[in-house]
Structure 1
Amino acid sequence: MYIGIDVGTSTVKAAAFDERGGALAVESRPVALDIRGGRVEQDMDEVYGAVVDVLAALTAGAGEPVELVGLTGQGDGVWLVDESGRPVRPAISWMDGRAHELVDRWQASGVFESVFRRTGSAMFPGCPGPVLAWLDRHEPKSLDAAATALYCKDMVFQRLTGVRATDVSDASMPFLDPRTRAYSPEVLDALGLAHRRELLAPVSDPVAVGELPTGTRIANGPYDLPACALGAGVTEPGDGLLIVGTCLASLVAACELDLTGEPAGLYISTDRPGRWLRAMPAMVGTAALDWVLNTTGVPHTEVDALLAGAPAGANGVRVQPYFAPSGERAPFVEPRLRAELTGVSLESTKADLIRATCEGIGFAARHCLEAAGLTGSLAICGGGTRSPAWMRLFADVLGRPLRIVEGEVGARGAVLAAAERYGVELDVASWTAPTAVLEPNPERSAFYARAYEEHLGRLASSRARARSERAVEEHQGGPRT
């Protein structure tokens, strides 16, 4: 038996697989997000306790020994721990927006672009660079008390094994030079963090390994985005993966670095030198739909029926799905961009609103995949795959076949990374086989191709307004209250 642990933003899961990748069992626990005034934090002890719980529950019912464990989890944010790996303060989530003024300042001064040209990482408020710089200015005592500024899975790995380490994928945002696979002193200098260099965990290349208290081998694999790419079999240049989860993440495998063009997204280093994932992780995916469902009082079980109850185009209702309090980070960075709902009248229905939201998320995904350079096949995974009607809508909006990969894809990727690290041979094709292949409807795809161009036009206007608001705030000397 092989176990993959996926420490997600709102749910911690552990999944057990047989040697051919067949799912045996899954255990999960919810974890809370503390969202207040643009700040998003998590209790590290709660997150770690959930990992211990799901692992214990899964192994307690196992009828055979565990061969090895792979670990993955949410990326970005800052998880400050002391020398023993215990929390110094609550973790600051990747969804946090408190550092948006720093990002604005770095965009205006050229620091933002210079970091991207060196590392391929377009910073956003919730990534470690801005968060650490904000803490250095506003909470220096927290940094003084910390031994390490970790990523989520690295915190869990240190608590489980005592090993202090990260990997090249997590370190990619924003400090790692993708050519040298080491931290860039120039980036630390540019962000004013050279004096905090010792807080960064050693980059283990290949991934770090250790043992659980039971003696079971564990590997600290790539974070959730590249782990999902491994679990979906996306490794050939040009092939892509769309993850419809809390975050709407678009990934395309690449064998070349292109640091030109608009700074956005990032290049994620993989365990294979010379291979990267060009990532465009938009801030919200299912989180946007969840907000609309909660606001309208519609349960998730009715989504498919409501999607069928409104035509393509949602009777003129349009949703720009930029709901994150920290704005958007891909395929562009605009911390002040917010969601917009237009075309609503007294005749509009809940079905129109739900369909418009799903269509808006589909347009955002298409924008990200085009910017990431998708030329090959496309796999899709995440919680959104549980809605067949939404998957059909995605195929039509994207205008291409979808390789649907269901189940705990991130946990699968974590196991495959652990197996490669330990030299355990597994049938990768069997582990990554799609559940189904969904073809687009040509007529609806043609309609959505036109609607997508209209979406880009509305988005350009929204971005212009956001930039104008930023300019006004800078002229007036600070953000509006």
Structure 2
Amino acid sequence: MFVGIDIGTTITKAVAFDEDGTEAAVATSPTRLHTPAPGHYEHDVEEIVRGVGRVAAEVAGGTAPRAVGITAQGDGLWLTDGAGAAVRPAISWMDARAAPIVRRWMADGTAAEVFARCGGMVFPGAAAPLLAAVAEAEPETLRRAATAGYCKDVVMRRLTGMRATDVSDASMPFLDPRTRAYDPGVLEACGLGGWDHLLAPVAPAHGPLAPLADGGLTALPEGTPVSCGPYDLPAAAMGAGVVRPGDALITIGTTLACQVVTAEPAPDDVPAGLLLGTWTPGRWLRAMPAMVGTAALDRVLALVGARPADLSGLLAQSPPGARGVTALPFWSPAGERAPFVEPAARGSFDGIDLATSPADLVRAVCEAVAYAARHCLEAAGWNGRVVVCGGGARTDGWAAIFASVLGRPLHAAQGAEVGARGAVLGAMAALGHAADLDRWTATTRVHDPDPGAAAFYDAGYAHYLGRVAAARERWRAEHGSPSTTTGDHVLSTSRP
């Protein structure tokens, strides 16, 4: 048995996998977000560590696993002291407190320099602007910190005592993707040159690997091998078998995580998203993790008095095009980060009249999120196969919308816990344990596009791009942001 642990923004999961990749058991624990101020989102580190211990013990059921693989949410700022204890609550990637800093960096060229160096465009929830925000507001906090790490790295430190990160988490924004080492120029550009000692060492090859030292926390035998990483985006790609250049993975989760495999480490001409190192030499992930996703849909469902379980029925009640209702699904207080960066981005509906039904509003936002996925994939250089995973993909009606918007078959990843599956495959690779990847990463079904709907959605996508472009000009004008070329790449409406 192998155990994979996936620490998400709202839930922590532990999954036991058999030797052939079958999900044998799943345990969950809530991962709570705390909001101490408007636009501020934080985690209690001790609460998360205790949750990991509970789910690991529950899913193992007294059996000693061969290894434990950990993955988790990325970005944010997780500050710990020399013993690995938090010096303040962890700041989530959803946090908006650094939005003014990002706007300043976009205006003065800092964001462009960071992108040129690391291939990633900063956004309010990234580590660099959050470090800068804490340095301005809480300098004493940084002086007490020994490490500015990431979620999985904090848990790894508590379980094994190892202070390290892997190439995927280190990629944004401090790593040079060509050398796979930290770039001091990024720190200097962000005004953080004096804080380089806070960055944990980047483990070589297959990431951090160490024996479990705190067996009491998890009820697992001390000495059990524990692997840290990759973080949730690359872990999901690994677990879904998305490894060939041009192939893509869409995760329809709290956010819409779109990734395309590339053999080119240099940033392309779309200054947005992330360029993530992987554990495979010569392969990177061009990631466009948009802030839209099931969080936007859940908000609309709540506004119309519906539940996620009602989604299939609501989609059946409204035709393609939602009777003329369209949406921009930018609900996050932090704005948008891919395939463009706009801290001031906000959502809207258009085309509403007295005949508009709750089903029309729900379908409009589902279609808008699918348009956002196509926007992200095209910006990332997609030209191959598409695999889908995440909670949103389990609703056939919504998956069918994605397939028709993309005009390509949508392959559903095996099992519900793709991130945990990737974490276990990472642990197996770190241990030199050969896995049958064809079996572990086989897809389970295919959602084919409807030809008539696909033609309709081509026109709808062109309309969506026009609305986004117009909205960006308005957001900039309203918030005094300069007109920049960040993410202004004009995309073709023809499919790859």
TM-score w.r.t. structure 1 length? 0.96
Distance apart, 1:473 and its partner CA: 10
Matched to 2:396, the amino acid is P
Question: Could you say which residue in structure 1 is the equivalent of 2:469?
Answer: 460
Equivalence for 1:306: 314
Structure 2 residue identity aligned to 1:438 = H
Query: In the alignment, what sits opposite 2:18?
Result: 18
Cα 1:473–1:457, aligned 2, differ >3 Å: closer, same or farther? Answer: closer
The counterpart of 2:427, out of the listed 400, 418, 430, is 418
Give yes or no for contact 2:78–2:150 (8 Å, CA) kept in 1: yes
| Aligned match of 1:478 | none
Which residue of structure 2 lines up, in the alignment, with residue 45 of structure 1? 46
Report whether the alignment pairs 1:449 with 2:450. Answer: no
Q: Give the aligned residue type for 1:99.
A: A
- Residue type of the partner of 1:55? A
1:342: Cα distance to partner? 1.2
Counterpart of 1:166 in 2: which secondary structure? coil
Instruction: Give the superposition deviation at 1:65.
Output: 3.2
Residue 259 of structure 2 corresponds to: 251
Q: How many pairs align?
A: 472
Residue correspondence of structure 1 range 18-97 to structure 2 within 5 A: 18-35=18-35, 36-60=37-61, 64-97=63-96
Distance 1:322 1:347 in 2: 24
1:343 offset after TM fit, Å?
1.1
> Is 2:444 aligned against 1:435?
yes
Work out the CA distance in 1 between the residues paired with 2:185 and 2:87.
28
2 CA distance for matches of 1:454 and 1:73?
Answer: 36
Deviation at 1:325, TM superposition (A): 0.5
> In 1, distance between residues paired with 2:247 and 2:481?
42
Deviations 1:12-31 (CA, angstroms, capped at 9, x unpaired): 00001111101101000112
What is the SS of the residue equivalent to 1:425? coil
Matches of residues 33-432 of structure 1 in structure 2 within 5 Å? Answer: 33-35=33-35, 36-60=37-61, 64-206=63-205, 207-212=207-212, 213=215, 214=221, 215-405=223-413, 406-432=415-441
Aligned equivalent of 2:491 = none
Q: Over aligned residue pairs, what C-alpha RMSD do you find?
A: 1.2
1:258 deviates by: 3.6
Is the contact made by 2:70 and 2:423 (CA closer than 8 Å) also made in structure 1?
yes
Mapped partners of 2:168, 2:34: distance in 1: 26
Paired residue type of 2:171: S
Per-residue deviation, residues 301-332 of structure 1 (Å, max 9, x unmatched)? 11001001000000111110111101001001
Q: Is the Cα–Cα contact under 8 Å of residues 476 and 482 in structure 2 kept in the other structure?
A: no
Equivalents in 2 of 1:345, 1:358: separation in Å? 19
Residue 38 of structure 1 deviates from its aligned partner by: 1.0
2:70–2:227 CA contact under 8 A, matched in 1: yes
Q: Give the equivalent residue in structure 1 for 2:486.
A: none
Asked if the contact 1:378–1:402 (Cα under 8 Å) also holds between the matched residues in 2, the reply is yes
2:9 paired residue number: 9
CA contact (8 A) 1:117 1:260 kept: no
Aligned to 1:479: none
In 2, Cα distance between equivalents of 1:295 and 1:49: 34
Q: Secondary structure at the match of 1:204?
A: coil
Asked whether the equivalents of residues 3 and 60 of structure 2 are also in contact (C-alpha less than 8 Å), the reply is no
**Equivalent AA in structure 2 for residue 299 of structure 1:** R
Q: Within 1, Cα distance between the matches of 2:337 and 2:371?
A: 15
Unpaired stretches in structure 2, ≥5 consecutive residues: 216-220, 484-496
Gaps in structure 1 of 5+ consecutive residues = 475-481
CA distance in 1, matches of 2:474, 2:460: 21
TM-score (norm 2): 0.94
Alignment partners' CA distance in 2, 1:147 and 1:15: 32
* Stretches (4+) displaced over 3 A: none
- Cα distance, 1:472–1:450 mapped onto 2, change above 3 Å: closer
* Distance (Å, rounded) in 2 between the aligned partners of 1:286 and 1:472: 28
- 2-side partners of 1:205 and 1:248: how far apart? 29
Aligned sequence identity (%): 52
Letter in structure 2 aligned against 1:175: F
